[in-house]
Amino acid sequence: MAAPSDFMTQVLGTLLTLSGNDLNSVTIAGAADAVVTDTSAALLGDLTIVTGSFTAASGTLSVGGSFDATGGLFNHSSELYSLIRQTLVKW
């Protein structure tokens, strides 16, 4: 089995389909947005949203490392979240 890889995008409309595989770390930057198409997904490393947005599917999103959305938006299950002063805030 291959080791999980890192993923970084600066592209609008990026779809992430993991098909049961794990990713190490995900970084969203620029005017990018990324959408996870799987019901559930596992990130073994960090989720970093520098700018742009990241949308998780309706199931569980596990993040094994750090979660940093200080410059972007995190959307899960049709709810919008942002990290403000290290506090996850639901909009």
Q: Which tens digit of pLDDT belongs to each residue from 20-59?
A: 888 888 899 888 888 888 888 888 888 899 889 888 877 7
Phi then psi for residue 83, to 5 deg, are: -95, 115
The model's confidence at residue 87, banded by pLDDT at 50, 70 and 90, is: low
The model's confidence at residue 1, banded by pLDDT at 50, 70 and 90, is: very low
Query: Which structure tokens are listed for 81?
Result: 């979240």
User: With 60 as the cut, is the pLDDT of residue 9 above it?
Assistant: yes
Distance from C-alpha of 39 to C-alpha of 51, rounded to nearest angstrom: 24
User: With 60 as the cut, is the pLDDT of residue 67 above it?
Assistant: yes
Query: Which structure tokens are listed for 14?
Result: 């990026």
70: left (phi over 0), alpha (psi -120 to 50) or beta: alpha
pLDDT for position 4: 66
Distance from C-alpha of 43 to C-alpha of 4, rounded to nearest angstrom: 9
pLDDT for position 41: 84
